[in-house]
Amino acid sequence: MSKLNRAWHDAHPMPANPTLDQRVEWHLAHTVHCGCRPIPRLVLEELARRGIEPPSPAN
């Protein structure tokens, strides 16, 4: 895991009561731009169902 990117988090909050599509989109972007924590298991499972390879975490 990398250091928290505060500016990215401030500009891109997770929506309240996000849909699965919103969660997937947010976590994909988060991993690229911050990566302060891993993608949750349920989101990883959904990525696999959709045939989407998780991106490499930000450094």
Tens digits of per-residue pLDDT, 6-25?
A: 999 999 999 999 999 999 99
What is the amino acid identity at position 4?
A: L
Sequence ranges of the domains in the chain: 18-59
Q: What is the pTM of this model?
A: 0.90
Q: What is the pLDDT of residues 16-51, one digit of tens each?
A: 999 999 999 999 999 999 989 999 999 999 999 999
Structure-token pair, residue 6: 């505060």
| pLDDT range class, residue 1, cuts 50, 70, 90 | low
Is residue 2 predicted with pLDDT exceeding 90? no
Q: At a CB cut-off of 8 Å and minimum separation 6, what does 7 contact? A: none
Q: At a CB cut-off of 8 Å and minimum separation 6, what does 10 contact? A: none
The rounded distance, in Å, linking the Cα atoms of 41 and 12 is: 21
